[in-house]
Amino acid sequence: MVCGPVREALGLRSLVGAKLVKAFNNISDHHIPSLGRPAGAADRTALPIAGDDAQAKASAADLIGRLGFDTVDAGSLAEGWRFEPETAPYAVPYSADPDAVRAFWAEVGEALRSGTMPQTPPPVDAGVPLHAAQLRTLLADTPRKLTADRVVA
């Protein structure tokens, strides 16, 4: 939560009373159109959401559902770390070639440490479904990694 003076200094007056839901940050943009499926499809993919307001999360889940995805409630916004970069539910489980994604992130990390730009473009594939039960397990088993300890923030 951002206090009043800080909110005003940042020009965030319009956020007063806003209800925030964290969603869509753990899936690559190219997987959204390729993995969306109708409700009830056996290969429907799940995305995590986190938020502090039940009604806002329900609205977000409805939108995500209309876009072709199931949702898994990861808890409050404070639990949103469970699907940030360098956690098990982040990007890799949706990829058809997880090793290529891991290699790309390793190259990005090395480039950041050496002060150079990565030379390999990120892998693009059609993706693979990640079912809700699999996502729940990944979220539950993910150890906390502080932002300061991550290679890619």
Q: What is the rounded distance in angstroms from the CA atom of residue 82 to the CA atom of residue 145?
A: 9
**pLDDT above 70: percentage of residues in the chain:** 90
Supply the pLDDT for residue 13. 66
Contacts of 91 (CB under 8 A, 6+ apart): 26, 27, 28, 85, 101
Separation CA 72–CA 69 (nearest Å): 10
* pTM summary value: 0.84
pLDDT surpassing 50 at residue 1: no
E strand segments, the chain: 21-23, 46-51, 70-73
User: What is the rounded average pLDDT of the residues 125-143?
Assistant: 97
